[in-house]
Structure 1
Amino acid sequence: MAAHLKRKHNMPQSPATSASSAATPSREPRLLQFFPSPLAKSSTRAKSITDALSFFLCKSIQPYSITANEGFKYLLEVLEPRYSIPDRKVFSDKLVPALYEKVKMDVVDSMSRAQRVSITVDGWTSCATDSYITVTAHYVTEEWDLQSHVLQTRVFNASHTGANLAALLQNVLREWNITDKNPALVTDNARNMVVAGAGADVTPHVRCVAHTLNLASQKALKMDRVSELLVKVRKVVTYFHKSPQAAEVLREIQSQLHLPNHKLIHDVCTRWNSSVDMLERFWEQQPALLNAMLSRRIRRGEGLAATAVNEDDMRLIQEIIKLMSPVKVATTLLSEEKSPTISMIAPIQAKLHKHFSEDNTDMPIIAEMKRRFRQDFFDRYVELQELLNSASALDPRFKDLTFLDDVNSRDLIFVKITAEVVKMNEKMKGIGALDEGGALDDGGALDEGGAAEGGGDRSPSIEERRGLF
């Protein structure tokens, strides 16, 4: 550096500066400060980053190939230049399987302390047409936290018969040590799932209420007159989706009429309430659609099947929307609920039962739709109705059972629940007293919280039984 300054910049170094620099050599920057040494793979820092990457791959369901992604590698280099990402095979063959085993042990240990465990089973097909079965467990911890764990999502190439699914279900219960937890089962309404639940001897077996709502809705919408209407609306929607010119004309007219700039919705047979969504959007955009289809910018002969949607059709659309909107609200509520429970079924049943009751003012088509919906939806839960009502009574949101019109039915439910609570208490602690939280006293009488006080000759009243909950 001194030679360079002297030769190029005519700045000779003074003797004092040279002596000072020589006296403090430790202050000069070293090469290692600019090029730090890499972290050892066995170092605590490297191990923590690698573990975090394994967690990231699993929790975010990322492919192993992301570890070789240029952008991802650059991100880690900026965050920690000394860290070197392990090869993807290290993650796939060693780290992720080890993390799986650790988490599995934690889940098994947690479920072993639960009183009961319920499981949900669902079959689905991937984009690559591989068939999978997913099993999820739900239980309440000792701290009264509701936990859910996906126990497995595995390829299932065998025939999806009830017997094969029953065998799979029994294997899952044994693998996760929950056979003795008296598990409850939740599935869709497929016949093979019903047979599987019976074959595995898992009770109660509850059918998914959201799936049941979807089936009942589809059955109501499959009436000939309604199907014809849906075909007409579907043709209009398809035309405006496929024609850029027609879509542009529609956008301009929406702006002129101050209507929301919404695209038309095409229904999908596997998506709940999509037919109702399509009709609602069609009804909302009716003025814009009518003007767009009359526009000279749209060539004659294209999409003119839309003109077949007449006044009677529009009236029927309005009535269908009015009829099916509560079903849409119910399915949306169930889908948005983080942890939907069986206690929600009975109130939904009661609400829909009133809504789909016969009315002399209904159009004949609407009356038939109501009949079909009632027949399909309510018959699926007849055998479980007592269980559904009891579950709602134990839910703080519905414990008054106001959705039940019969007062005697409400009282009977509380009587049965109280008897079951007493039986459970005797089984776990022997005949003893309700503690301050509501357990039985020696005399068997209700305390201030609704339990018994000494003596115990009288039976608890209905109000006192409700106080227990």
Structure 2
Amino acid sequence: MRQQVLTNNLMNKDRPPLLTSYSFDHGTARKELAHAIIMHEYPLSIVDHVGFKRYSNALQPLFKVPCRNTMKSEIFKIYEHHKGKTLSLVVSNASRLAITTDMWTSSNQKKGFMAVTAHFIDNSWTLQSRILRFIYVPCPHTKEVLCEQLLNCLMDWNIDRKISSITVDNCSTNDAMIDLLWDKLDNTSLMLGGDLFHMRCCAHILNLIVKDGLDVIKVGIEKIRDSVAYWTASQKREEKFEETVRQLNVGSTKKLGLDCATRWNSTFLMLQTALLYKEVFIRLSKRDAQYQSLPSEREWGFAKDVCQKLKFFFKVTELFSGTKYPTTNQCFPNICEIRLELRDWLQSENQVIREMAKRMVEKFDKYWSVVHGVVGVSAVLDPRYKINVLEFYFKLLFPTTYKEEVEKVRALCYKLLKEYQCPSSMMEGIGDSSSQLSSIEDESLSNKIKLVLMNLFLLYLLGECTSGYATIYDDAESGDSCVTREVNGIFFTFLVVLTLCGCKNMGIIVVNGLWIWMQEQGYYFGEWSLDVDART
């Protein structure tokens, strides 16, 4: 049946309605219903509701509402379609994948589910994250059960040989699961033989550190917790509390919320909100004789002090938990700032704060050795920080041994450089004084130059190149100099090579004695010789 209809563009409401021809398609309508169920988390039973059937019939009498099994099949078709698209993206992508996994517990059924997410940089240098699996895991959640589920997911997506690391929460079961998984995978495909395979979640470690500190201060904030529990215990009390808020003209609309024992950030949010309503609690204590848990001025002051200190951890946790941007490069400076902050807390005049800081420092030092290596590398690879950030913070944290700490991270950087270095494309060491040349003719010129530049850039970040002169020769045979400039590091060379990648002429770039000779057939690189004939 074809008819003329006036349609609105749902994606762009600014566009005027269009008069277009329309032909009802039952398959399209059924697919859109499946999308609606997925998008809004409607139950499959919606297709059995009499009201929904009547509504659908009023909109389009020709539409026959499908049964549950049909909708279930339609939803699986959509899933398989998107899985195929994601699989093609993952397979065609040249980079490795970082895997994160965690166990979730449903609030109503108390069942355990495993979520597995892959993170990678696509060919357009965009950060991508894809949920690969969300599956029910029957009890008991032992290392064998968790390992089997995770391994099945990796095999199903054919990514077991493309993994860079697996990030999990810090607990003994996860540690045992990772060890078991490591034995089942091909270790030769893992980075550095699996040294970076097991990553502990920085946000979870931060959570453990703060929880240890809160165990010390829980007595000091007990009355605030009791007050919040009292005024949120019933609808009538909540209404009375809100009425008093309006009477006192408190400029806040935040609702009181009781904290959760396993989530320290909920304790911070509870204290932060309760402090806003301090005068409200005081007024209510005079109006309600049953309310006997009003905190004293000393307890309010202590809560304010604790809240100010937890605010720093709360902001760092939010930063670590970001999903739209890389987070590892932010970990190192923030982790170091946390340790410095704790050092200041140890000098607090409040004995409880000092004891809290002491417990947190003990937990921090326990996990420092398992996180600082790879996050240090990430900081080095951030052009805003480079290796200078290691020297800066390590001097503050380890005044006598900071050089050894810096060298540990530097050594790890070189190991990673060697790991990614293509054996056929370069010499055994990019800073080697050997005069041997290596050539690649199988790949495109642009890819070859990128490969060299990434290694040069890493050396720059590690402090190998600081300043000097860059000379570009656009004719390798005559040796005529096109331009010579004083440069700071390798950045100028990076721009020059990107420019030359677009032209077909031969060219030579020299930076601090390291030269690259480009031509249509390939490129060579080595150390610059003072002999002019070496250029030809």
Whether the TM-score (by the shorter chain) exceeds 0.5 is yes
**Maintained 8 Å contact 2:100/2:117:** yes
2:172 corresponding residue in structure 1: 191
User: Who wins on radius of gyration, i.e. which is larger?
Assistant: 1
CA distance in 1, matches of 2:36, 2:87: 22
Q: What is the aligned partner in structure 2 of residue 117 from structure 1?
A: 97
Cα distance, 1:324 vs structure 2: 0.9
Q: Does 1:264 align with 2:241?
A: no
1:256 Cα deviation after fit:
3.8
- Where does residue 268 of structure 2 map in the other structure? 276
Give 1:59 shift: 4.3
Matches of 1:397 and 1:269, distance apart in 2: 38
Letter in 2 for 1:241: T
**1:173-213 Cα distance to aligned partner (Å, 9 max, x none):** 22211111134101111210111112111642222222222
Secondary structure at the counterpart of residue 128 of structure 1: coil
3-state SS in 1 of match to 2:343: coil
Q: CA 1:211–1:63 in structure 2 vs 1: closer, same or farther (change >3 Å)?
A: same
State the distance in 1 between where 2:412 and 2:233 align: 60
Q: What's the secondary structure of 2:77's corresponding residue?
A: helix
Instruction: Tell me the alpha carbon deviations over residues 424-452 of structure 1, each in whole angstroms, 9 at most, x when there is no partner.
Output: 343374545996965538xx996833599
The equivalent of 2:486 in structure 1 is none
Question: Residue in 1 aligned with 2:299?
Answer: 313
Q: Does 1:108 align with 2:108?
A: no
1:151 aligns with 2:138: no
- 116-125 or 332-341, which deviates more: 332-341
Pairing partner for 1:138 from 116, 119, 136: 119
Rounded Cα–Cα distance in structure 2 between residues aligned with 1:152 and 1:61: 17
1:165-244 matches, within 5 Å, as 165-201=146-182, 203-223=196-216, 226-242=217-233
Q: Deviations over 1:383-404 (max 9, x none)?
A: 3312111113334565576474
Q: Which amino acid aligns with 2:284?
A: A
Whichever residue aligns with residue 160 of structure 1, its letter is H
Give, in angstroms, the shift of residue 355 of structure 1: 1.6
The SS at the match of 2:65 is coil
Q: Quick one: which amino acid aligns to residue 228 of structure 2?
A: V
Greater alpha carbon shift after TM alignment, 352-361 vs 112-121: 352-361
After superposition, the Cα gap between the structure-2 partners of 1:50 and 1:278, relative to the gap in structure 1 and judged at 3 Å, is same
Going from structure 1 to structure 2, the CA distance change for 1:177 and 1:44 (only over 3 Å counts) comes to farther
Q: What secondary structure does 2:259 align onto?
A: coil
Q: CA deviation at 1:313?
A: 1.5
Judge conservation of contact 2:169–2:204 (CA < 8 Å) in 1: yes
Distance 1:200 1:273, change over 3 A: same
Q: Does 1:303 align with 2:291?
A: yes
Q: Alignment partner of 1:357: what SS?
A: helix
Letter in 1 for 2:218: S
For the residues of structure 2 that align with 1:134 and 1:428, how far apart are their CA atoms?
Answer: 39
Q: 1:406 to 1:437 in 2, by over 3 A?
A: farther
Offset of 1:243 from its aligned partner?
A: 5.5
CA deviations on 1:211-249 (whole Å, 9 max, x unpaired) are 2222221110101xx222232212111221235665455
Cα offsets for 1:237-277 (capped at 9, x unmatched):
12212356654554444334331354432111233411111
Matched, 1:95 2:52: no
Q: CA deviation at 1:327?
A: 0.8
- Amino acid of the structure 2 residue aligned with 1:47: G
- Whether 2:393 is the aligned partner of 1:405: answer yes
User: In structure 2, the residue corresponding to 1:362 is in which secondary structure?
Assistant: coil
> Which has a greater percent of strand?
2
Shift of 1:362: 3.4
CA–CA separation in structure 2 for the residues paired with 1:76 and 1:402: 62
| Number of matched pairs | 409
Residue 344 of structure 1 and its aligned partner are, at CA, apart by 2.5
- What is the rounded CA distance, in whole Å, between the counterparts of 2:200 and 2:228 in structure 1? 34
Partner SS state of residue 283, structure 1: helix
Equivalent position amino acid for 1:362 in 2:
E
Structure 1: gaps of 5 or more residues: 1-31, 34-42, 460-469
- Which stretch shifts more, 60-69 or 184-193? 60-69
Q: Distance in 2 between matches of 1:204 and 1:60?
A: 37
State the distance in 2 between where 1:416 and 1:344 align.
18
User: C-alpha displacement at 1:155, in angstroms?
Assistant: 1.8
Aligned counterpart, 1:346: 332
Summarize the Cα distance change of 1:195–1:143 in structure 2 as closer, same or farther, 3 Å threshold: same
SS at match of 2:101: strand
Higher share of residues assigned helix = 1
How far apart in 2 are the matches of 1:79 and 1:314? Answer: 59
Q: Structure 1 residues 455, 373: CA separation in 2 closer, same or farther (over 3 Å shift)?
A: closer
* Structure 1 residues 73 and 211, CA gap change in structure 2 (3 angstroms): farther
CA contact (8 A) 2:320 2:331 kept: no
Residue 440 (str. 1) matches residue 452 (str. 2): yes
Within the candidate set 358, 374, 389, 2:376 is matched to: 389
Q: Matched residues in 1 for 2:222 and 2:87: separation?
A: 51
Task: Tell me how far 1:61 sits from its aligned partner.
Answer: 3.7
Q: Who is 1:62 aligned against?
A: 42
Change (3 A) 1:183 1:252: same
Moved more, 352-361 or 421-430: 421-430
- Whether the 8 Å CA contact 1:401–1:410 is kept in 2: the answer is no
TM (normalized to structure 1)?
Answer: 0.75
1:129 aligns with 2:115: no
Shift, 1:349, TM fit: 0.4
2: CA distance, partners of 1:256 / 1:384: 51
Tell me how far apart the structure 2 counterparts of residues 455 and 250 of structure 1 sit (CA, whole Å). Answer: 71
- Change in Cα spacing, 1:314 to 1:449, as seen in structure 2 (3 Å) is same
Q: 1:332 to 1:456 in 2, by over 3 A?
A: closer
What is the CA distance between 1:51 and its match in structure 2?
2.6
CA contact (8 A) 1:113 1:141 kept: no
Aligned AA for 1:136?
T
Q: Which secondary structure state, in structure 2, belongs to the residue aligned with residue 228 of structure 1? A: coil
- For 2:518, the equivalent position in structure 1 comes to none
5+ residue gaps, structure 2 = 4-22, 183-193, 396-402, 427-437, 457-469, 471-489, 498-507, 516-536
Label 1:271 to 1:97 Cα distance change in 2 as closer, same or farther (>3 A). same
Match of 2:493 among 442, 449, 453: 449
